[in-house]
Structure 1
């Protein structure tokens, strides 16, 4: 019985194993019949060494020493191998360099003397100012001087920038003298008008310039101030010519450090008359340059030191305070002899406003009226003197080097009223 059961179990196992083998064989047949996917074979690589493997033994190769190597011949001087021989380039003849010209030193000019210079410039002044004098003479020559005529005389004086108060004074004096005179010939009227204009300008005012050395041996110091565009630097250069013409030794101080052209311009003026110039770096301290200029003048025993200050608007408080600083620094060497205010005569009443502000900062001792030969009105001389109480000392009557003249009231009025 046991044998029968065992035989049955073995038969069952055989059946199961046979079935399994049949299924596996079918699956393998399917896998073989399916086309295998194409794959790109990776590039062959050298087998990487595995851990524990020893390095391959090195092979012995024959080695060459330096003696067995043939080296090319080298140049002893350069240490380089010689290249292929080439033909030498043709020699190029280089012309000799032209000689460098020596710097030319400007010839020192000898300015004409200042005595009578305004008289020599009278014709130029008369051409531009004849409207004032001739206009007054024609009005005064009328047969009947009624109120309308006197009003026209007042208008003529006001148009010439004489000012309200001086105009009223002049008209009152003319009225009185015309009544006393009675008959009015052209010659008498011209003399009458001339006398009154001279008195109005002020013949008794001191118009001399303090430009001589002091008793202690210090040079006279002249500060030139003014707003931009009035011809301040040019006036300083022309004033140097005036002083040199009068036998003064002059030192120029270019304290206008805000404009490099101003220092160059002043240096040109100085070289033309043989005046020493002291200048500083562009944008430097103007007071320092002015101080050095006076120091140089003392060392050279010069007669006069002219200091050209920077032009500034009268409405700029900071710049005006700096001008006061320049004057205080210069006064460490000694007192300032002159402070000349340069005014453009063509600005009229605006020039009076400028003069008033400058006079509050520095003590103005004299006035220089430039461009008086142009469209300026001659009456500005009277107005500015009344405004500041200081005299007009110099007038500019043109662009020439010697067109700056000491102001002479008689010669000025003669140019206005004619001969």
Structure 2
């Protein structure tokens, strides 16, 4: 199964809301685009957690181009897809690599968002591209997190730097980058402790970890990726805003898209935070993870509607 088929499968819950509900708005002779229709389509789009700004933009597009006309479902779907591609437009480069030396990637997020699994999938992706990887187990407050990351490092055949329990995470980050430089490793991925965006002291700690990495490589970290759990929907937006401020996030890794009907939160993130969605996860396996492709995402979202 290719990633597009995995993505379709992962977005099935979101797609079912969109496609079944939109289909129910139409009869064989089509449907007049009037105020009643616009309100109905608005309610359907809201169910996927696209957010007010994005939904308004989509409804406005339909109203501007089709109001007063009798159209078929295919016309509405085509208009929605075109507008969504516009709303999701972003740079196609998921990772900004260092001009020379190791590329440092810092990963943060709340507990349970899928951070450790996402790091393992990132490491696997880099390895499959022929790059060497070292992991920094910066979640020193949770023994299970270090143990889990160590297991992944062994499975993937990548190096790992750990610290003593309760050691300062910044020291682990420093030593991980130090090792990457000494070993001429291509990519250093630094894990951080899961935290709530309301825990001010822990959010301040993210800045210290950034500073520790920068002591080794002044322009690093090159990427600060925030792992968000797609099943949290709009709640993920407030998480992202706080983390982006504290850690200087450069992009989002959206995990667990396969477990939710709120896949539209991708659109809300792009519109409200102006942070790129860099990677998405639609399952537990390494193959269920890939760089975010907006065209592919939109096609998968409406695949059932068009029988793709």
**TM-score, scaled to structure 1:** 0.68
Q: 1:396: which partner in 2?
A: 281
Structure 2 counterpart of 1:276: 159
Q: Give 2:87's match in structure 1, choosing from 200, 206, 217.
A: 200
Measured after TM superposition, the shift of residue 211 of structure 1 is: 5.7
- Structure 2 counterpart of 1:225: 108
Shift of 1:340: 0.3
- 1:339 touches 1:366 (CA, 8 Å); kept in 2? yes
Per-residue deviation at 1:178?
2.1
Aligned position for 2:66: 178
CA distance in 1, matches of 2:41, 2:75: 18
Q: Does structure 1 residue 190 correspond to structure 2 residue 190? A: no
**Aligned equivalent of 1:136, options 15, 22, 28:** 22
Alpha-carbon distance between aligned partners in 2 of 1:251 and 1:139, rounded to the nearest angstrom:
52
Provide the rounded CA distance (Å) in 1 between the counterparts of 2:127 and 2:294. Answer: 24
Q: Please state if 1:343 is matched with 2:247.
A: no
Structure 2 equivalent of residue 405 of structure 1: 290
- 1:303 and 2:189 matched: no
Matched residue, 2:137: 254
Aligned-pair CA distance for 1:140: 6.2
Q: CA deviation at 1:299?
A: 0.9
Output the CA distance in 2 between the equivalents of 1:229 and 1:158: 25
Cα 1:186/1:160, change in 2 over 3 Å: closer
**For residues 236 and 324 of structure 1, what CA distance do their matches in structure 2 show?**
20
Distance 2:109 2:242 in 1: 10
Q: Which has the higher helix share?
A: 2
Q: Residues 198 and 410 of structure 1 are in contact (CA less than 8 Å); yes or no, is this contact kept in structure 2?
A: yes
CA spacing shift, 1:263–1:117, aligned 2, 3 Å: farther
TM-aligned CA deviation for residue 360 of structure 1: 1.4
Structure 1 contact 267–277 (Cα < 8 Å) conserved: yes
User: Does the aligned pair in 2 maintain the 1:346–1:374 contact within 8 Å?
Assistant: yes
Q: Distance in 1 between matches of 2:49 and 2:267?
A: 8
Q: CA deviation at 1:187?
A: 3.9
Asked if residue 288 in structure 1 is aligned to residue 288 in structure 2, the reply is no
Secondary structure of 1:369 counterpart = strand
Quote the offset at 1:194 in angstroms. 1.7
Matched, 1:385 2:303: no
Runs of 4+ that moved beyond 6 A: none
SS at match of 2:216: coil
Q: How big is each residue's C-alpha offset from its partner over 1:221-260, in whole Å with a ceiling of 9 and x where there is no partner?
A: 0000011110111111111011111111111110100111
- Whichever of the two has the greater Rg, that structure is 1
Q: Normalised by the size of structure 2, how large is the TM-score?
A: 0.91
CA distance in 2, matches of 1:331, 1:357: 21
**1:402 counterpart SS class:** helix
How far does the alpha carbon of each residue in 1:311-362 deviate from its partner, in whole angstroms, 9 at most, with x for none?
Answer: 1111111111111111111111122100000111111221111111111112
Counterpart secondary structure, 2:134: strand
Deviation at 1:133, TM superposition (A): 3.2
Contact in 2 for aligned 1:241/1:402 (Cα 8 Å): no
Determine the C-alpha separation between the residues in 2 that align with 1:393 and 1:137. Answer: 31
Tell me how far 1:179 sits from its aligned partner. Answer: 4.3
User: 1:211/1:251 Cα in 2 relative to 1: closer, same or farther (>3 Å)?
Assistant: farther
Are the aligned partners of 2:134 and 2:176 in contact in 1 as well (CA < 8 Å)? yes
Shift of 1:307: 0.4
Kindly report the root-mean-square deviation, in angstroms, between the aligned alpha carbons of the 2 structures.
1.9
Q: Which runs of 5 or more structure 2 residues have no equivalent in the other structure?
A: none
1:356 pairs with 241, 250, 256, which one? 241
Larger proportion of strand: 2
For residues 277-300 of structure 1, the C-alpha deviation after alignment (integer angstroms, 9 at most, x for no partner) is 111111111000000000000111
Task: Determine helix, strand or coil for the equivalent of 1:367.
Answer: strand
CA shift at 1:276, angstroms?
Answer: 0.6
Alignment partners' CA distance in 2, 1:376 and 1:225: 24
Cα offset, 1:143, TM superposition: 2.1
SS of equivalent to 1:331: helix
CA shift in 2, pair 1:177/1:138, >3 Å: farther
Give the drift of 1:406: 1.1
